[in-house]
Structure 1
Amino acid sequence: MQHPRPAPRTTDPRATSQRVAGALVESPLQLLCTVEAHAAGFGGTDTHVHVRDDVPALGDALSAVRELTLPEGLTFDLAGRRSALTAREPVWLVGDAFSGLFQATAPLRRPDRIVLVDDGLATLELCRLLVRRDPLVRIGSTVRAPRRRLGAVAAGRLRSLAADGRVTIFTALPLGPDLTTGLRAQGFDVRHNRFGWLTAQPADAALPEPTVVVGSAMAADGLIDADRYVDWIRSLAKESALRYLPHRRQTPELLAALAEIDGVTVDAPGAPVEIRLRGLRAGQRVVSLPSTSTILLTTIISPLGVPVTALDVPADWWTPRASADHRAHLTSVVELARQARAAAEDANETDSPEANE
């Protein structure tokens, strides 16, 4: 005989009493969203952030974050993966639920709560897999049976904790009503990240170029033709001078080709674009191929009158390596960016006091 599962907890998951949280950060975006989660009260009164020490872009991102006014209670260490293996904080903030490290340790942990923060479009796929009750396997990846079983165990662990009201998904992505309803039906606490901490920080000086292009990793990942990508940047530079912000996985060869184009200034890798572009003003624009940054930047800078545009990838740019599912997953960003823009406009009109809820 099966016994009914107890109703999930309905208390607010934000920290109202003394508690300690830990976070494993493996990318600049995870770092930024972890700080936002802590600032919004979804971490601990003290949150220890374990930053991977073998990702060069993370060092730049951490330096940029530390230059801002951090919320109280945050500490950082650069022992990342090693610390995460032994850390036992009662609240655990996770950016990449597809990582082998998380999936290997998830069954062994007994956290009071897990908070899932954004890790790009992978967060959207994570939510879809949880609703469908599928194993947590990255889209487009080919894995063997043992790895798939590990993904199934990790998914089951998250759903079990969610049924007890112990998992929060803190995301800036517009999940849509069907996905949100499906998650909440399983007990997941879904909260919207409006970047309240970052938008309250003093803005940096504006870049002088009227157009800013946020670089895409699709060429480096072999999903689109690199020559077509360079030609696209060249066509934009004929319209106006532009600043190019590289993706952390773009190759030196591609960046060298872009730097040779008249009117293009290629920035060095550094802070997350969400931090670097806060100083843009009306009259400037941000352009990108489909990426999570277009969605997040829409939330952060479109209220300043700066349009953020995610362009569809032309059909003849795709390489055979890009599967139909992969293409659909990436191009869905265009619609998500539109939804984020509509949500930002609604938030401005209502001036809602429920930011970050």
Structure 2
Amino acid sequence: MSLSAPSPPALRRPPATKVWVESPLQLLSAVEAHHAGLLGHGTEVVLRSGVEPLVATASEVERLGPHLGLAGLHVGSRVPLPSGTGTLVIGDAFSGTVQRRLLTFRAQRLIIADDGLATIHLLELLAAPDPRPLIRARAQPTMARQALGLAAATRMRALGRAGRLIVFTALPVPGELREAVTKHGVTIVGHDFPWLRSRPSGPPPPERQVVLGSSLVANGLVHRERYLEWVADLAAAEPIAYRPHRRELPADLAELRRNPRISVAEPGPPVEVCLRGLTREHRVISLPSTALTSLRLVLRGNGTTIQGVTVPAEWWTDQADAGLREHLSLFLDGLEPAR
């Protein structure tokens, strides 16, 4: 698939920009960065292969934005590197593949496109006085992986000192964290999905109550039975449209589909794209998720009620320590207890 636009004359061609994305949110963030003028013409986007929701999102971006000015959307398997004067855009700074490529990165700028709360975790690591390995939260890395993460952190901090590192995010970054990370030269650029909000929206679901699926069960952090009972209780009060998380297990979705009062959507583009048509008659309910933040931005002015609910203590498994529980809910205001 490709999105084309007239190329400027060769003498005025801006430095090349290469984008590597692995999730739908990363792709949307990269598109918004392009719309904001951070990337320029000739931007090529490479999608990680084997991620069907990512391909579906790319198709929707292609449908919604034929005049975006992107040179192309391609499915690939490697992290592309631009020329020595270009820009590289990545979403997952904790990927080993990405980190190995960063060690040979000599282009003009590095831009981090939003990847949910992982972006906040990255900022926390970059804000530390001394380099800390770029390792995912909850990961138990080998010594070799620790060394790679530390090398990547050192490289990224050097880019920051040179004024060549930008983090592009829709998440609210706390003032103290923003101040700490900017001391290391990192530039934080915020956005509220202006390109996506400008696109025509599709019809909303007939159900007034919309529940956003969660990956907490699939990640082993929340007991499956508690979660499924909660969704069933919501459906008992009023039929619901259920938007699955891309990591939810097929067996869990099959269980939900057996309930005639739950309409489970098929996998596709993320909720930021699919739910843009919600109205003031609709209510969105979700456990802690960055989708709550992004939907509040995308649906701004629609009058839609967006309700986040906290996870009751008895729902958590032993794998969810106190620090992780706090981190998952840290930036999600307006939460109410799940019942």
Structure 1 length as normaliser, TM-score? 0.86
Distance 1:251 1:158 in 2: 35
Cα shift readout 1:210-238 (whole Å, capped 9, x = no counterpart): 11111101101111011111111111112
Cα shift readout 1:139-198 (whole Å, capped 9, x = no counterpart): 001001111111111111111111111111110000111111111111111111111100
Distance 1:190 1:56 in 2: 30
Q: Which amino acid aligns with 2:238?
A: S
Q: Could you say if the C-alpha distance between residues 85 and 278 of structure 1 is closer, same or farther in structure 2, counting changes exceeding 3 Å?
A: closer
Alpha-carbon RMSD across the aligned residues, in angstroms, is 1.6
Aligned to 2:326: 328
Cα shift readout 1:18-38 (whole Å, capped 9, x = no counterpart): 222001110111111111111
Contact preservation (8 Å) 1:163, 1:188: yes
Distance 2:94 2:53 in 1: 20
Q: 1:77 aligns with which of 74, 79, 86?
A: 74
Note the residue ranges of structure 2 that are not aligned, 5 or more in a row.
1-11
Aligned to 1:202: 200
More helix by share: 1
- Kindly indicate whether residue 87 of structure 2 is the aligned counterpart of residue 91 of structure 1: yes
Contact preservation (8 Å) 1:23, 1:92: yes
Shift of 1:203: 1.2
Distance 2:122 2:287 in 1: 22
Shift of 1:86: 5.7
Distance 1:143 1:91 in 2: 29
Q: Could you say if the C-alpha distance between residues 86 and 20 of structure 1 is closer, same or farther in structure 2, counting changes exceeding 3 Å?
A: closer
Q: Which secondary structure state, in structure 1, belongs to the residue aligned with residue 58 of structure 2?
A: helix
Aligned to 1:220: 218
Contact preservation (8 Å) 1:164, 1:187: yes
Aligned to 1:38: 34
Q: Deviation above 6 Å: which 4+ runs of structure 1?
A: none
Q: Which amino acid aligns with 2:87?
A: V
Distance 1:188 1:17 in 2: 27
Contact preservation (8 Å) 1:311, 1:334: no
Distance 2:113 2:207 in 1: 32
Contact preservation (8 Å) 2:20, 2:80: no
Aligned to 2:286: 288
Shift of 1:333: 3.8
Q: Which amino acid aligns with 2:133?
A: P
Distance 2:331 2:245 in 1: 17
Distance 2:312 2:330 in 1: 14
Q: Would you say how many aligned residue pairs link Structure 1 and Structure 2? A: 320
- Kindly indicate whether residue 153 of structure 2 is the aligned counterpart of residue 152 of structure 1: no
Aligned to 1:4: none
Q: Percent of aligned positions with the same letter in both sequences?
A: 37
Distance 2:300 2:223 in 1: 30
Note the residue ranges of structure 1 that are not aligned, 5 or more in a row.
1-15, 339-357
